[in-house]
Structure 1
Amino acid sequence: MHIHTRPLSLSIALATAIAALPALARPTQAAKPAPAVQTAPAAQAASAQPRIDNAPAPQAMAAPAQHPVQVPAGAQHAAQLPPNGVADAGAATAGTDANAPSAAETERLLRAQVLLDRFHFSPGEIDGAYGSNMRQALAGFQKTHDLPPSGKLDDATWTALNADTTPTLLDYTLADADVAGPFRPIPDDMMEKAKLPALGYATPEEGLGEKFHASPALIKQLNPGKNLARAGEQIRVPNVVGTPALAPAARVVVSKDARILMLQDAAGKLLAQYPASTGSEHDPLPIGDWKITGVARNPVYHYNPKLFWDAQPGDKSATVPAGPNNPVGVAWMDLSKPHYGIHGTPVPGLVGKSESHGCIRLTNWSAAEVAGLVHAGTDVVLQE
């Protein structure tokens, strides 16, 4: 992939899009958490894939885009915000609020999020806004670079992040697979989900958001006037591809209070960090030491309403098909604690901000990455 940097002056379209980013509202009302998965007994063979509710192993199906993505064939050039993340001094400010971030400040946040993701300190959905997930990502990054873990994007942290000079944005040409679908609305009702042949993406921008670790709203705002459903269309996306591979993890540590999942090596060194949803009042995180007993990708989901305090009246046991909008997303890591696991989610914008039914919920791209770095027997520590 050939990379070049953009001139200091941003295009009017991109500057307008960036200026609008603070208006991207994070969800403020927690959606109903996805039910926890029922798993097979922990005594299953370590080499076997986990089975859900003693059902056959997860169905084979065409896998959705896995993460972290490799450099896509359509990624020909890199589109760059200014290397220092600062736009022209005359760039329009975002919104009419005198306290709202300027376009330059928002660009800096966007670049910081991309760089954090590249360093494997995920800020969750990349959206150009500063929130709790980014604060935790910054704090984790700071700890590994001997900086005060303030969670703030101070000058020293900005300098350390910018050691990676990779451009912020990537020019990407939409491939046939990106727009093939089928795209369909995903019903909220579990019984209606079970009637569908698969739980794929609702829109092309949802799939692109997961592929490039971004909110669908950001994908649209970075590409005004672009047809996101047309193969061959060239668009701009966060440059999260081609990052160095991580070594397998010796230990998974989940912090309930910080709402993060951390991967550590055998010496306890922090390798990666991800935002996570970690239980609720009704279904608390099972604090203690556990082990991963198996890993499944693209699992089907066996829903048993008897296990859930908030099941809808009239719900019956159902098999929910696989796909990125499956209640457990694209990956399930079974824990030795019965009925609990680490998994993806169809609502990445709520990770770290909503509750779960006791399981550890990650974005789909984070769950897919973690699933490739753990195995049956990996230690899992769930702590306050």
Structure 2
Amino acid sequence: MSQDTTFKLNRRRFLAGSAALIGTPALAQETTGIPDPTNTVEIEKDVSQTVRRNISSFRSLDWRPYFSSLRKGAILVDIDSRALHYWSEDGETYKLYPSSVPLTEDLTRRGRTSVIRKVEGPSWRPTPSMKKRNPEWPDYIGPGPDNPLGTHALYLSWTYYRIHGTHDTRKIGRRSSNGCIGLFNEHIADLFERAKVGTQVLLI
């Protein structure tokens, strides 16, 4: 069997096997610098299983209770309502996007962070713990329709945490991730153009 065929089979097994993902990933650790490009991120859960839909309010918010200023813009992620709010630095633009959020409280991180890197066409690598559980999974998936990070990713100062797109639109509005915040690809593309490196982020 050729190496190319083996990789295709491994990718097929990887996509089919994501529903069998077990265990809890290591909690992300805060970092102050730009992450190593080889850093990995946990893949989102398969949503073919029964999940609870968003029953919280989806409403616009004012930035003032959450941020002292709009310097470099601001992103607020409301885990309970499964919504991401964005305000531009000049206060003229406000955007509200539906999102996917972490599957459980154990996987959920709240607090202040910031955008430290922006990547169009992100690549994905399994974490060492994921690879140990699933050695048949590919070591790397490049940009494209099979990539769990969708078309764009905003890397946060918390290792392994991203705001990114998803090709699986069923995830949006649900608890479906292992820590990251997911948006429709057209929404992450819009946010990607607006957010800057240094944009402040608050998860509540």
Verify same fold: TM over 0.5: yes
Confirm whether residue 273 of structure 1 aligns to residue 107 of structure 2: no
The Cα of 1:280 is off from its aligned counterpart by: 2.2
Could you tell me which of 126, 136, 155 is aligned with 1:303?
126
Could you tell me whether the CA contact under 8 Å between 2:73 and 2:196 is conserved in 1?
A: no
User: What is the distance in 2 between the residues matched to 1:295 and 1:338?
Assistant: 14
After superposition, give the CA deviation of every residue in 1:181-228 in whole Å (9 maximum; x if it has no partner).
xxxxxxxxxxxxxxxxxxxxxxxxxxxxxxxxxxxxxxxxxxxxxxxx
Unaligned residue ranges in structure 2 (runs of 5+): 1-17, 41-52, 63-70
Of 274, 282, 291, the residue aligned with 2:114 is 291
- Distance in 2 between residues matched to 1:266 and 1:278, nearest whole Å: 25
1:264 partner amino acid = W
From 150, 175, 182, the counterpart of 1:354:
175
Asked if structure 2 preserves the Cα contact closer than 8 Å seen for 1:283 and 1:356, the reply is no
What is the percentage of aligned positions where both structures have the same residue?
A: 25
How far is 1:367 from its partner? 1.0
Tell me the equivalent position of 2:162.
341
Tell me the equivalent position of 2:186: 365
More strand by share: 2
C-alpha displacement of 1:333: 0.5
Paired with 1:377 and 1:370, the residues of 2 have a C-alpha distance of 14
Q: Which is worse superposed, 329-338 or 296-305?
A: 296-305
Cα distance between partner residues in 2 of 1:54 and 1:350 = 23
* Shift in alpha-carbon separation, 1:32–1:260, aligned structure 2, 3 A: farther
Is the Cα contact below 8 Å between 1:42 and 1:338 reproduced in 2?
no
Letter of the structure 1 residue corresponding to residue 202 of structure 2: V
> Is 2:199 the counterpart of 1:378?
yes
Long gaps (5+) in structure 1: 1-30, 45-49, 56-130, 145-247
What CA deviation, in whole Å up to 9, does each residue of 1:6-58 have, x standing for no partner? xxxxxxxxxxxxxxxxxxxxxxxxx849999x9xx6513xxxxx654259xxx
TM-score by length of 2: 0.65
Q: 1:255, 1:268 → 2: CA distance?
A: 19
Mapped to 2, the partners of 1:305 and 1:378 lie a distance apart of 30
RMSD: 3.8
Structure with higher Rg: it is 1
Does the 8 A contact of 2:84 with 2:97 survive in 1? Answer: yes
Distance of 1:344 and 1:290 partners within structure 2:
19
Per-residue CA deviation, residues 248-291 of structure 1 (Å, 9 max, x unaligned), is 97100000110100002458787011111111227522100001
User: Which residue in 2 is equivalent to 1:261?
Assistant: 84
Query: Which residue matches 2:33?
Result: 43
Aligned to 1:128: none
Check if 1:53 corresponds to 2:38.
yes
**Matched residue pairs, number?**
163
Matched letter for residue 340 of structure 1 = Y
SS of corresponding position for 1:318: coil
* Secondary structure, counterpart of 2:170 in structure 1: helix
Distance in 2, matches of 1:253 and 1:263, equals 6
Question: What's the CA shift string for 1:52-85, capped at 9, x where partnerless?
Answer: 4259xxxxxxxxxxxxxxxxxxxxxxxxxxxxxx
